[in-house]
Amino acid sequence: MTGFEDIHGRDASWTVRDGAAHSRSVRAMFARIARVYDFMNHLLSLNRDRAWRRRVASLLDEETGEILDLCAGTGDLALETMRAGKGRAWVAADFCPEMLAGAVGKRGAERLSLAAADAMALPLRPRSVDAVVVGFGVRNFADVQRGVQEIERVLRPGGQLLVLDFFRDDPDGTRQAKGVASRLRILLNTFVPLVGRLVGRDGSAYRYLSQSMGAFLTPREFAELLQEHGFTEPLIDRQTFGIAHIVGARRKE
């Protein structure tokens, strides 16, 4: 952690990191856990991850055309939007081919266009997609602002962005909400790496995943960042006692 602050006084150490080195280690980490990723996801979230993705899909406009699932991993978020009847074409993009390979064979996956791509430099034309969804990906970006700028570039004006992630607890949240969230966080910080070591045989990867939750932006800070980068109509949707949040916005017309 570098501990520097951005112009609003927020801790910006999680918005910019040593790009190449960070990307390499994140990609290698996901390559290591790719084979157990889905199983671990459902186990560690007690299957809540499915409901959270369904909620993202339900928030998409009915008339959405092309959907980009960025940091798609094994494709579950794109497939959930397809199941919800949202979208006519789907691109599942991720910079870890081992994760994308996990989508192959899933019901509906034959309709996904799988793309090995880095969110920091998307191989897509400006204004070419109608909606972008990101599930548990933004927290891993080497440069969060850069990632948001790329999303803004490829989205058509008025297009939706929906980000599902484990954000940092809001310090202004109610005491009760903070209490529940922080107890769950302590549980996650101990439980997740332990189960990761036992089942996934990779405690360090799961330690990274749980620790990165506590160090990321809050949902409100992320919504502000979106508004500073060409987005409007911010939306914050709290999931399961605030363990996860969906933060959304629309690209300005």
Ligand X SMILES: C[S@@+](CC[C@H](N)C(=O)[O-])C[C@H]1O[C@@H](n2cnc3c(N)ncnc32)[C@H](O)[C@@H]1O
Residue 76 or 173 with smaller CB distance to ligand X = 76
Residue 163, beta-bridge partner list: 134, 247
Tell me the torsion sign for CA atoms 150, 89, 24, 207: positive
Q: Is 95 in the site for ligand X (CB under 6 A)?
A: yes
Window contacting ligand X (CB under 6 A); options: 2-10, 95-103, 169-177, 179-187: 95-103
- Member of 64, 91, 94, 249 binding ligand X (CB under 6 A): 94
CB of 230 to ligand X, least distance (A): 20
Q: Is 118 in the site for ligand X (CB under 6 A)?
A: yes
Buried b (16+ CB within 10 A) or exposed e, 224-251: ebbeebbbeebbbbbbbebbbbbbbbbb
- Member of 40, 44, 99, 188 binding ligand X (CB under 6 A): 99
Contact of 77 with 49, CB cutoff 8 Å: no
Q: Is 72 in the site for ligand X (CB under 6 A)?
A: yes
CB of 185 to ligand X, least distance (A): 17
Contact of 210 with 188, CB cutoff 8 Å: yes
CB of 179 to ligand X, least distance (A): 26
Half-sphere exposure of 251 (CA within 13 A, CB side): 21
Footprint of ligand X (CB under 6 A): 23, 26-27, 30, 41, 71-73, 76-77, 94-96, 99, 118-120, 135-137, 140-141
